[in-house]
Amino acid sequence: MNSEFLQSWRNMYGFTQIKAGKLLTSLLLTMLFLLCITFGPAHAQVLTQTTKELGHGYRFQESKQINVSGRWHSNQSFKFLYFEKRYLCQCTEFSISPSGKYAIYQVNGSTTIASFNRHKAQVTSHNKLTKGKLMQVVWGKNEKQVELHILPEKPAGANADSITTTIKKRLTLK
């Protein structure tokens, strides 16, 4: 480094040669880091979002994260159910009653099944139901009466094929 430059810094700001050298080194490393970020490789994700109107004010929104080819492969999909502007859940399993008054769904990563009544704008969690994956919803003639088909959770230590039968549970919605 130019000793006159360092001398002028020392005279102007009272820096010693060591402090000025550390400061300049820090500045150079910061600039190098910023250059690497600015001109580094392209981001590895492409995000897309689609919305599907389901009727009666409900809509299903899917956001996808797709990595660019040549990168580590990881595709992720996030699915959301809304009633008008109200977020109901991040879920893949759901069913809307024929009139649209009710929706039944299971939140991703959970065994809890919930229902939504659009007239009351109310969500009810049905915690007393069998824990497991919601497979099917069968709506009765009276939409308050519904039959849920649930694949129960596997007990700890059970093999993957030990449970293959769904359990049917009747539910009366409020």
Residue 58 pLDDT grade (very low, low, confident, very high; cuts 50, 70, 90) = very high
> What pLDDT does residue 84 have?
95
pLDDT at 19 over 70: no
pLDDT at 90 over 50: yes
Mean pLDDT highest for which of 43-47, 140-144, 159-163?
Answer: 140-144
> What pLDDT does residue 98 have?
96
**Which letter, b or e, does each residue of 128-137 get, where b requires 16 or more Cβ atoms within 10 Å of its Cβ?**
ebeebebeeb
Long-range pairs, 115-118, Cβ under 8 A, ≥24: 115/171, 115/173, 116/83, 116/88, 117/173, 117/174, 118/56, 118/57, 118/83
Q: Residues 123, 125, 127, CA angle at the centre, nearest 5°?
A: 175
Query: Are the CB atoms for 129 and 169 separated by under 8 Å?
Result: yes
- Which residue type does 97 have? S
- CA 168 – CA 165 distance, rounded (Å): 10
Q: What percent of the chain has pLDDT over 70?
A: 63
pLDDT at 28 over 70: no
pLDDT at 160 over 70: no
Q: Cβ–Cβ contacts within 10 Å for residue 12, how many? A: 8
Among 20-29, 86-95, 161-170, the range scoring the smallest mean pLDDT is: 20-29
- pLDDT tens figures, 104-152: 999 988 888 999 999 999 999 999 998 999 999 999 999 999 999 999 9
> What pLDDT does residue 52 have?
95
pLDDT at 26 over 60: yes
